Amino acid sequence: MASNCSGASHSWFYNGLLALALAFGSAAHAGGFAVREQSAIAQGMSFAGAATPGSGLSAMYWNPSAVTQAQGFWGETHAAGIFPHSIVTAAPPTSSALIAAYGGSAGNIGEIGAIPAIYLAYPINQNFYIGLSVNAPFGLATNANSWLGSFYAAEAKGQSTDVNPVLGWKISDFLSIGAGPRIVWFQGKFSRSIFPILTDHAAVDVEDVGFGFSAGITFTPTALTQIALGYRSRVKLRLEGDFDRPAASIHLPINGTATLPDQINFGVRHRVSDALTLLSTMEWTNWSVLQNVPLSITGVNAAPITTLTFNYRDAWFFSIGAEYQWSPQTTFRTGIGYELSPVRTSVRDTSLPDANCWWLSAGFTYQWNEQWTTDLGYSFMYMGRSSINVAAGHPDFFGVSVFANSNAYINIVSASLRYKWSSEPQQTRFR
């Protein structure tokens, strides 16, 4: 039955789940299929200094020791709107006959998405703090129906929820640490056409809950400088779900294992003057843990029927930014970043034209009163033109060569509302 699904081999599972995983991050981004848009404040600076507590409670996502800045009950809610533009068009040496028969352009494969985030913090006493962050670190979708590349990826949608309670310890005014467990729910759906009929679709639906942790440290050597180091652990998943091909009345249970990468974020915030603050970030994501993913039909000798070969490399992100306090209520910010994608040209897929990219960002904060603050951030991500070569040697290839060009950029708009309640005067060193 499985060979009938792919037409010639078990490659449907291979190609399908590969594109499923890739598509999770095709619209919003931290390279691969991760999502960086977890803070409207950091968004406005291309995430420069995102892990430093001066960036607000949202710094907890990268560095849980940021919980120790709370005086009384603090809460923040952030949301990002993702507006991708990714035009994928077949190019020579793709067969002109195949283009004529099935179509040579997928149009804009990116779908608009929304990324929510919530942060809460409360001091148990002057040394210990508790907090909670709820994020969506992987997600979004692509739609590339009705063209030649649909035989490799038609529609893909994914979502995740990461719940991370943390405990912070303010050892002194100069040193704070924090850590906590992570509970990660991951779910995705993927479909592709079965060659040679575009309308003959097969789909996979998988999910799992995995566990990890976050940890971080903040060092404040002077009243002007914060140095932050944060770590988010890898998360192992055992994906379980179903494969369906309605036209052939086929339904199969499937499973496979995958590892989401760990990440290290290093950030610096330095106040140059009462008005001007400079920031920087260096981030490493261990995407190389995602290489081969064995897949099995559940209950059939429990043996892999194929292996997903991602061949990801580690990703790097660098950014610098600045904040300028225009008035006691208003702060402006800007930043620039550069990201080295984990996706190599040799394995780039039609559902993820990911490539090295530039980030250009701007934003501002307005403090309404001592309790309420609003932040807005905007980023323009430019990946430019990249090539997709699904042919002999590509891990997706099953016999139909598709060569294509992608021209991609993304507009991202973020907003937040922050609330601070404290029975004591607030005397933080950083806003």
- What is the residue-wise DSSP string for 339-401? EE-S--GGG-BTTB----EEEEEEEEEEE-SSSEEEEEEEEEEEEEEEEEEESTTSTT-SS--
Q: What is the pLDDT of residues 402-424, one digit of tens each?
A: 999 999 999 999 999 999 987 45
Q: Which of 52-66, 128-142, 256-270, 290-304 is predicted with the least confidence, judged by mean pLDDT? A: 290-304
The domain spans of the chain are: 2-421
User: How many other C-beta atoms lie within 10 A of the C-beta of residue 125?
Assistant: 7
| CA-based radius of gyration for the chain | 23
Is the dihedral angle over the CA atoms 16, 20, 26, 29 positive or is it negative? negative
The closest alpha carbon to 28, from 124, 145, 224, 160, belongs to 160
- Taking residues 97-124, what's their average pLDDT? 93
Q: Give the per-residue pLDDT at 24.
A: 32
The closest alpha carbon to 429, from 34, 64, 60, 69, belongs to 69
Distance CA 242, CA 299 (A): 13
Output the six-digit token pair for 192: 């592709």
Distance CA 217, CA 68 (A): 10
Distance CA 86, CA 27 (A): 8
Distance CA 412, CA 186 (A): 23
Pair 305, 297: CB distance under 8 Å? yes
Q: What is the pLDDT of residues 210-265, one digit of tens each?
A: 999 999 999 999 999 999 999 999 999 998 988 888 998 988 888 888 899 999 99
Question: In this model, does residue 4 exceed pLDDT 60?
Answer: no
Output the six-digit token pair for 354: 């990911």
Confidence of residue 204 (pLDDT cuts 50, 70, 90): confident
Confidence of residue 75 (pLDDT cuts 50, 70, 90): very high
Confidence of residue 91 (pLDDT cuts 50, 70, 90): very high
Question: Cα dihedral angle (391, 109, 195, 207), rounded to 10 degrees?
Answer: 100
**pTM for the full model?**
0.89
Output the six-digit token pair for 139: 């997600």
- Taking residues 51-60, what's their average pLDDT? 97
Q: Give the per-residue pLDDT at 425.
A: 43
Comparing 347 with 140, which gets the higher pLDDT? 347
Q: Give the per-residue pLDDT at 398.
A: 86
User: How many other C-beta atoms lie within 10 A of the C-beta of residue 397?
Assistant: 17
Q: Which of 111-115, 308-312, 365-369 is predicted with the least confidence, judged by mean pLDDT? A: 308-312
The closest alpha carbon to 317, from 114, 109, 62, belongs to 62
Q: Give the per-residue pLDDT at 62.
A: 98
Distance CA 49, CA 66 (A): 12
**What does the DSSP assignment read for 143-169?**
E--SSGGGGT-SEEEEEEEEEEEEEEE
Output the six-digit token pair for 411: 């507009």
- Taking residues 174-191, what's their average pLDDT? 92
**Can you list the alpha helix ranges (DSSP code H) found in 24-165?**
40-43, 96-102
Question: In this model, does residue 1 exceed pLDDT 70?
Answer: no
∠ CA 256-262-264, rounded to 5°: 170
- Taking residues 384-393, what's their average pLDDT? 90
- Taking residues 327-346, what's their average pLDDT? 94
Q: Give the per-residue pLDDT at 16.
A: 38
Q: Which of 56-60, 270-274, 336-340, 345-349 is predicted with the least confidence, judged by mean pLDDT? A: 345-349
Comparing 421 with 130, which gets the higher pLDDT? 130
CA distances from 428 to 53, 310, 419 (A): 10, 45, 15
Distance CA 49, CA 37 (A): 14
Please give the mean pLDDT across all residues of the chain.
Answer: 87
CATH assignment of 2-421? 2.40.160.60
Question: In this model, does residue 27 exceed pLDDT 50?
Answer: no
User: How many other C-beta atoms lie within 10 A of the C-beta of residue 97?
Assistant: 8
CA distances from 191 to 17, 19, 84 (A): 9, 9, 20
Q: For 246-368, where are the E strands, in sequence order?
A: 250-260, 263-271, 276-285, 292-297, 306-309, 315-325, 330-340, 357-367
- Taking residues 318-324, what's their average pLDDT? 98
Question: In this model, does residue 48 exceed pLDDT 50?
Answer: yes
Residue 345 has φ and ψ, to the nearest 5°, of: -60, -35
Residue 15, SS3 per DSSP = helix
Distance CA 131, CA 168 (A): 8
Q: Give the per-residue pLDDT at 306.
A: 56
